[in-house]
Structure 1
Amino acid sequence: MDLEIRHLRVLNAIADAGSITRAAAALGFTQPALTAQLQRIERALGGALFVRDGSGARPTAFGAMVLAHGHGILTAHDDLMRDVRQRGPDDSDLTAVRLGSVPGPLTAVLVTTARQLLPRAEITLHTCDTEEEQLELLATGRLDFGLVVDYPEYELTLRPGLGEALLAVDPVFVLISERHPLAASPEIPLSALSGEPWLAGENKDVRMRAQFRAACRRAGFAPRRVQRLSGSVVFPLVGQGHGVALAHPLVTEREGVVVRPLAGDPMAVRQRVVWAATSPLAEHAPALHDTLTKAYWAEAQRAGVYWEWLEGKGRLPTVAGPSDAE
């Protein structure tokens, strides 16, 4: 793993806070997520950076050296980004659009939409491990627009200076084998899957997992087994009857696998377009949101099971206009 600016910010936050827990709160991370990030950084650098005990976290001698160099790098980087943000929207060199997303069914749609809206710009995509990472990159000006996913009752709070526009709030569906006894059901109660092994991709979103566990508790059971696997093998394993999996409703059916709604909508996913309000590209946010919304519902219509479900429920798109976080 190469050391990046975001890693230096993590180290700086821990040193300033004197505690991983306090640093996680300041960065908008969960404490386990920040601990895991610190461990990856320490493995990459080859040594412990902090002594962690009951009183908090303090730099080791090695950590103090890294922090000293990192402070100079962060200062230079922040000076650069300040100058970049001061460019006017009419500057002739505004030709790069940096997009971010945790991999999902709308990631490619986001790129396509941006290229349609800004055909002369160079579009780049950064795929993030977590939504917290993506929000950090947006807040620090390293991304222009992000497609941010969270979950009702488990929402991500935006940092000051970020704008947002709601794209959609969708139910969570389930993938099952076409040979499963419930495959012919138009909707499946979550409780009917209480005895199934659950197959999950390598998603690091703790909020999604918390929502799933809470939904299972409300349905009266604890998941029998949750196995985390590469996303590329989830569909084949489900198709061969080795388990079931949660899915976004835009996911299309594949050979041997059907997508089914969960009765009563026990889980939901929310999608937003987020941007830095001070970015020179912020003026394009309303147009990007409108274009992406049209593309999103075109995708929903192509996802036959979801479109039929929407029609059957009489549901209209849930869309809100852009706003800036205070």
Structure 2
Amino acid sequence: MGLELRQLRVVRAIADEGGLTAAARRLGMAQPSVTQTLARAERAVGGVLFRRGARGAAPTALGEVVVAHARTVLDAVERMTAAAARHREDDWPAAVRIGCAPGLLVAHLSVAVPLVAGSDVQITTATGAAGHVAALAAGRAEAALVTRFLAPGAARPPVAEVHGEGTLRGAVVAVEPLFVGVSDRHRLAARAEADLAELAGERWCLPPGADDGLGARLAEACRRAGHPVAVRVAEYAAALTLAREGRAVLPMMPGSRTGPGLVLLPLRGEPLTMETVLHWRSDGPLSEEWIRSLWEHLVRAQRDIIEAAPAYRAWLADHPHWRTTPPGPAALHRPCG
């Protein structure tokens, strides 16, 4: 007896989510059905695929082999299905156009979109969110992957309210704490984390021209910490040089690879967070099923690639309450609740 696609989807979901309950929620199945499907898959391959414990389900050696092949098979099936749908639908774009703010997930789109859509992808990268959203609303793009920054306690209004577009929809891919890039000679460089107040008097580097709210959120967070913020505008490469030389500090994504001379310093209490959102138009050519599949690929890349960075992995281990990714595509996600 061979493995069925349903069983492969369950095996992949358990591996992605780390447990049967979360896998059931992601697949829209009852947990007993997930348990039964897993049992049938294990009978088909002749061995145990996951070891279950208090911390969830971890793949066995056999499970790792099956999970890897399940991903390959399901990716191929999804690509075939998308390609067939594209040939049936005259309005499907020859290349899916996506506008992106700079971020660690952008590179993955060049792999994920052709895999999901069965077509080429055209990616436009620029700082800020407004231009990408405007292009999406005007039909010059099919999707957008953008970021916005929030301070503790700040409301997260739905995407349509933020951009005033009734047909614009959004699904949160990740909510992450921002770290600070400091010189490895900085007085706080050896600390596991620091209070934002301990960075009083530092000069912060921010990118030029961004409208994503980072400058305003940084100023607000510093005000709450009891000190004003001093900002220097610099392109990213120049900002990295200034930080390595100890002449500035800069907010950085926790999954960043820093290179020599620079240290990622986590901030106690997560005073700054970054939200990554996938946008599309409800009246556009991309179906809900297609969007969900792309969202799942992005979430998987977030977990398997970005969160594998040593500093981020260590921080997540020390903050088990934090849930970077939501259980399913949704316009709002609270990582701690």
TM-score by length of 1: 0.67
Partner in structure 1 of residue 324 of structure 2: 317
Partner in structure 2 of residue 244 of structure 1: 249
**Alignment-mate amino acid for residue 104 of structure 1:** G
Partner in structure 1 of residue 29 of structure 2: none
Aligned counterpart for 2:136 among listed residues 122, 138, 146: 138
Structure 1 position 111, deviation (Å): 2.7
Partner in structure 2 of residue 8 of structure 1: none
Partner in structure 2 of residue 204 of structure 1: 210
**1:273-313: per-residue Cα shift (whole Å, max 9, x none)?**
11011122234101000111101111233321011101111
Partner in structure 2 of residue 36 of structure 1: none
Question: 1:300, 1:307 within 8 Å by CA — same for their partners in 2?
Answer: no
Q: Does 1:255 align with 2:260?
A: yes
Partner in structure 1 of residue 240 of structure 2: 235
Partner in structure 1 of residue 44 of structure 2: none
Cα distance in 1 for partners of 2:192, 2:123 equals: 37
- Quickly say closer, same or farther: Cα 1:312–1:134, change in 2 above 3 A: same
The 5-angstrom pairing of residues 125-274 of structure 1 reads 125-152=123-150, 153=154, 155=156, 157-158=162-163, 159-205=165-211, 207-223=213-229, 225-274=230-279
What are structure 2's unaligned runs of at least 5 residues? Answer: 1-85, 333-337
Q: CA RMSD in A?
A: 2.3
Q: Does 1:287 align with 2:286?
A: no
Structure 1 position 162, deviation (Å): 1.5
Structure 1 position 324, deviation (Å): 8.3
Structure 1 position 207, deviation (Å): 1.6
SS at match of 2:305: helix
Question: 1:166, 1:320 within 8 Å by CA — same for their partners in 2?
Answer: no
**1:242-299: per-residue Cα shift (whole Å, max 9, x none)?**
1111111121121100111111111111111110111222341010001111011112
Cα distance in 2 for partners of 1:88, 1:112 equals: 20
Structure 1 position 214, deviation (Å): 0.6
Structure 1 position 129, deviation (Å): 4.0
Cα distance in 2 for partners of 1:276, 1:154 equals: 23
Cα distance in 2 for partners of 1:320, 1:277 equals: 21
Q: Percent of aligned pairs with the same residue?
A: 30
Deviates more, 1:159-168 or 1:146-155: 146-155
Structure 1 position 117, deviation (Å): 1.9
Q: Does 1:123 align with 2:130?
A: no
**1:224-245: per-residue Cα shift (whole Å, max 9, x none)?**
x311011111112211111111
**Alignment-mate amino acid for residue 213 of structure 1:** A
- Quickly say closer, same or farther: Cα 1:244–1:150, change in 2 above 3 A: same
What are structure 1's unaligned runs of at least 5 residues? Answer: 1-86
**Alignment-mate amino acid for residue 148 of structure 1:** V
Question: 1:188, 1:260 within 8 Å by CA — same for their partners in 2?
Answer: yes
Partner in structure 2 of residue 113 of structure 1: 112
- Quickly say closer, same or farther: Cα 1:183–1:94, change in 2 above 3 A: same
Cα distance in 1 for partners of 2:221, 2:188 equals: 19
Partner in structure 2 of residue 46 of structure 1: none
Partner in structure 1 of residue 19 of structure 2: none
**1:101-131: per-residue Cα shift (whole Å, max 9, x none)?**
122222212333213323x412101223431
Structure 1 position 203, deviation (Å): 4.7
Cα distance in 1 for partners of 2:281, 2:91 equals: 20
Cα distance in 1 for partners of 2:212, 2:107 equals: 24
Aligned residues: 237
Partner in structure 2 of residue 32 of structure 1: none
SS at match of 2:171: strand
Cα distance in 2 for partners of 1:144, 1:93 equals: 10
**1:131-151: per-residue Cα shift (whole Å, max 9, x none)?**
111111111211111112113
SS at match of 1:167: strand
Partner in structure 1 of residue 94 of structure 2: 95
Cα distance in 2 for partners of 1:322, 1:249 equals: 22
**Alignment-mate amino acid for residue 212 of structure 1:** L
